[in-house]
Amino acid sequence: MGEIKGVEGPVCEHAQQRGYHVRKLQWIGRRAAPDRLFFGKGENFLIEFKDYGEEPEDHQWREIHRMRSNGIAVYVINRPDHGRALFDRRVVDRHAHAISLWPTPERFLQIS
């Protein structure tokens, strides 16, 4: 899938304006892994971008859960305003569940 310009483009541009570096990722043999790496201001984290209002598929949630349970901060962003808010607040809580689309604990149990 190509870049989700309606969400991904504006958020990446906003992050760069706030002093973060952005890298598009390609994962060899891992089609469910997050789209972008963001780093700057002493923070490193991944973002999985989805089209406006969409949710990751189950295999993507499993990979996000796998990464997060091993200490990697991963966010799911499906709205440009949520992505901009993430950078405006400087990702104070790197493991927040409520930035955008985090599933409930019951949802994790269903897809684990």
Say if 2 falls within a structural domain: no
Judge whether residue 1 has pLDDT over 60.
no
Say if 89 falls within a structural domain: yes
What's the pLDDT tens digit per position in 8-34? 999 999 999 999 999 999 989 888 899
Say if 1 falls within a structural domain: no
Say if 62 falls within a structural domain: yes
For the ranges 1-5, 36-40, 65-69, 106-110, the lowest mean pLDDT is seen at 106-110
Say if 82 falls within a structural domain: yes
What's the pLDDT tens digit per position in 45-92? 999 999 988 999 999 999 999 999 999 999 999 999 999 998 987 544
CA distances from 45 to 4, 34, 104 (A): 19, 10, 21
| Sheet containing strand 74-77, strands side by side | 21-24, 36-40, 43-49, 74-77
Q: What is the pTM of this model?
A: 0.77
Say if 3 falls within a structural domain: no
Q: Write down the pLDDT at residue 88.
A: 85
